Amino acid sequence: MAQQAENKACAMTTAHAESMKRRVRLTCRVNGQFVVEDIDPTMLLLHFLRDRLKLFGTKEACGEGECGACTVIMNGRPVTSCLVLAVEAEGSEITTVEGLAKDGELSILQQEFIKFDALQCGFCTPGMLMSARALLDRNPDPTDDDIMEAMSGNLCRCTGYRQIFDAVKKAAKREREELKRS
Amino acid sequence: MLSQFDYIKPLVLDDALTFLAEHEQTYILAGGTDLIIMLNKNMIDAKYILDIKYIPDLDVFKFTEGEGLEIGANVTVNELAECDVVQTKYKALCEAASVLATEQLRNRATLVGNICNASPGADLPPSLLIYDATVKIASVKGERIVPLREFFTGVKKTQLNKDEIVVSVFLPDPGKKDDSIYLRQTRLRGHDLSTVGVACRLKGDGKVAIAINAVAITPLLLSDLSNQLNAKGLSEESILWASEEIKKHIKPITDVRASKEYRLHMAGILLKRCLAQLTGKEV
């Protein structure tokens, strides 16, 4: 009972509560790095990224797939990592917000978020960036509706959505120009 | 999460069925967008999580001309929305799949999961009901096929027994000259469950089929209403009649999303819009 109460308290925080179950092997790639870890089968992908890999960019807010703060890209598709068990990531390729910058330089998308003031407290930003990244990877020339639809699973409580929308639109344009040049 | 479960990943359907039959407190995991919420909120106590995503039999997603479309338990909502056949032959289903929840959830959620969760307000069932969908169910005892209209038995309740897995959903080929539409009312644009959702189909022979969600304990195929409307023939007058008559065929309640009265009213409005768009009539 004491353990249960402790677990319940833990469930309110963003940490994983150990189940004491036998560990299972997880093999995947995260931000281009090969990862092999023995994990608790009840661990969420979100907590695996944060607690185990110390990738704190991915945020937990609602824990029920409503807010999008925990969005990561899994095998090319954006998913809410609070609704994915870590073991389900077996063999998958995962990108978190930490995987966007290359060689110490922020990506075009990140640069445009800064230029447009598309963040205030910043809590929703990693999720916003990952939804936008997944959109632009699949559709480099999105319509306004495409952008709104792709971002509609991410909630922001302070900046408002206009700047975020503008940043994504501008980033798409810059990325297309960059592609033409190269 | 309080559940202390083991994660089981069978590679063959028979193994999954045997495991399910022999182990209590086993929950089936496909997309997980409903199951993991229940685990996170400690609404269920799971001993085993049976992940069916590695079973190739459940990946089936195949259209056969003259027969129909089989959608396996592992097919995600986005795979459905992006499929050419669904876009051209089953428009209402494509529309419902495109508005369900968010991009992130559609990438995980499955059509079969959506029906097994059996929410009265689920987006996909009306668009399946108008196509006379059937559900293929398997257990160690064998297979059975159930019409979707008999599958739902109550709020979050289905015919499915504890030892059974839904293998796939089958939609007969609607043939040519068939058209359909799904319209729903939500409280806001974007991510919301439907307050009322209506799916209508205009078949090649000029007959209509109507189904609706969020106005009863289960999604409903309104066969009686459709038959009465078909007997009258489709006209501006009969469409207006049906948009009033529909209120006698549904039993909505008042909840956080809308009042009973609003749902009754919107059911009529949405039906009118659906039929107007399908027939090109101005009502």
A112 and A160 belong to one structural domain: yes
Q: What is the CATH number of the domain that holds A147?
A: 1.10.150.120
CB of A116 closer than 8 Å to CB of A108: no
Contact assignment for B107 to A79 by CB distance below 8 Å: yes
ipTM of the complex: 0.94
Give the separation between CA B136 and CA B157, rounded to whole angstroms.
17
B248 alpha-carbon distance from chain centroid: 23
CA geometry: angle A52, B48, A21, nearest 5 deg: 40
- Of B73, B76, B71, nearest in space to B17 by CA: B73
Q: How confident is the model at residue A160 (pLDDT cuts 50, 70, 90)?
A: confident
Own/partner contacts of A99-103, CB < 8 Å, gap of 24 or more, are A99/A30, A99/A31, A99/A32, A100/A129, A100/A133
Residue of chain A with shortest Cα separation from B8: A41
Contact B54, B11 (CB under 8 A): yes
Q: Do B5 and A88 touch (CB under 8 A)?
A: no
Q: Are residues A89 and A6 in the same domain?
A: yes
A23 plus A62 within the same structural domain: yes
The segment(s) of chain B belonging to CATH 3.30.43 are 6-51
Q: Are A76 and A134 in contact (CB under 8 A)?
A: yes
- Choose among A42, A83, A84: nearest Cβ to B3: A42
Give yes or no for B101 touching A (CB within 8 A): yes
Of A8, A11, A41, the CB nearest to B6: A41
Q: Which residues of A touch B (CB under 8 A)?
A: 4, 7-8, 11, 17, 19-22, 24, 41-42, 44, 63-66, 68, 71, 74, 77-80, 82-85, 87-88, 131, 134-135, 149-150, 152-153
Residue B47's CB is within 10 A of a number of other CB atoms, namely 13
Taking only the tens place, the pLDDT of each residue in A66-121 is 999 999 999 999 999 999 999 999 999 999 999 999 999 999 999 999 999 999 99
Q: Which domain holds residue A130?
A: 108-181
With CA atoms as reference, the chain B residue closest to A40 would be: B6
Instruction: State pLDDT tens for residues B207-260.
Output: 999 999 999 999 999 999 999 999 999 999 999 999 999 999 999 999 999 999
pLDDT at A182: 85
Give the gap in angstroms from C-alpha B131 to the nearest C-alpha of chain A: 27
What the block records as the tokens of B53 is 């995503």
| pLDDT value of position A15 | 84
Interface of B with A in 45-84 (CB under 8 A): 49, 51, 53, 78
Which one of B40, B49, B191 has the shortest CB-CB distance to A153?
B191
Q: Are residues A116 and A95 in the same domain?
A: no
Residues A90 and A125 in one domain: no
A7-49 residue pLDDT tens: 444 444 568 888 888 899 999 999 999 999 999 999 999 999 9
Q: Which two tokens stand for residue B278?
A: 């399908």
Q: Please check whether residue B44 touches A, CB under 8 A.
A: no
Q: Are A118 and A177 members of one domain?
A: yes
Please tell me which residue of chain B has the smallest CA distance to A128.
Answer: B104
Contact A150 B103 (CB under 8 A): yes
For chain A, how many structural domains are there in total? 2
Please give the Cα distance from A71 to A79 (Å, whole number): 5
Partners of B104 on chain A (C-beta within 8 Å) are 65, 68, 71, 78-80, 131, 153
User: What is the reported pLDDT for A11?
Assistant: 45
CB contact under 8 A, B51 and A79: no
Chain B partners within 8 Å of A22 (Cβ)? 6
Domain boundary among A99, A128, A150: A99
- Domain boundary residue, one of A99, A121, A154: A99
**Residues of chain A found within 8 Å of residue B53, distances taken between Cβ atoms:** 88
- From chain B, pick out residues whose CB is under 8 angstroms from the CB of A84: 32, 36, 108
Radius of gyration of chain A from its Cα atoms, rounded to whole angstroms: 17
**Pair (A149, A66) in one structural domain:** no
Last residue of a domain, one of A79, A99, A119: A99
Q: Are residues A68 and A126 in the same domain?
A: no
CB contact under 8 A, B32 and A79: no
> How many Cβ pairs within 8 Å bridge chains A and B?
101
Q: Which fold has domain B6-51?
A: 3.30.43
**CA B205 to each of CA A116, B69, B234, B277: distance values in angstroms, whole numbers, following the listed order:** 55, 21, 12, 17
Per-residue tokens: B9: 């990943």
- Structure pTM? 0.94
| A134 and A69 fall within a common domain | no
pLDDT at A14: 66
**Eight-state DSSP code of residue B59:** G
- The CATH H-level (homologous superfamily) assignment of domain B179-279 is CO dehydrogenase flavoprotein, C-terminal domain (3.30.390.50)
Q: B111: distance to nearest CA of chain A, Å?
A: 17
**How far is the alpha carbon of A44 from chain B, nearest alpha carbon, in Å?**
9
Q: Do B2 and A88 touch (CB under 8 A)?
A: no
Shortest alpha-carbon distance between residue A19 and chain B (Å)? 5
List strands edge to edge, sheet with B68-72: B61-64, B68-72, B165-172, B134-139, B142-147
- The CATH number for A56's domain is 3.10.20.30
Q: What is the pLDDT of residue A5?
A: 45
Task: List, for residues A122-151, the tens digit of each pLDDT value.
Answer: 999 999 999 999 999 999 999 999 999 999
Reading chain B (283 residues) residue by residue, the pLDDT tens digits are 888 999 999 999 999 999 999 999 999 999 999 999 999 999 999 999 999 999 999 999 999 999 999 999 999 999 999 999 999 999 999 999 999 999 999 999 999 999 999 999 999 999 999 999 999 999 999 999 999 999 999 999 999 999 999 999 999 999 999 999 999 999 987 678 899 999 999 999 999 999 999 999 999 999 999 999 999 999 999 999 999 999 999 999 999 999 999 999 999 999 999 999 999 998 8
Domain B57-172 bears CATH identifier 3.40.50.9100: no
Together in a domain, A122 and A157: yes
The residues of chain B that CATH labels 3.30.465.10 are 57-172
Together in a domain, A24 and A66: yes
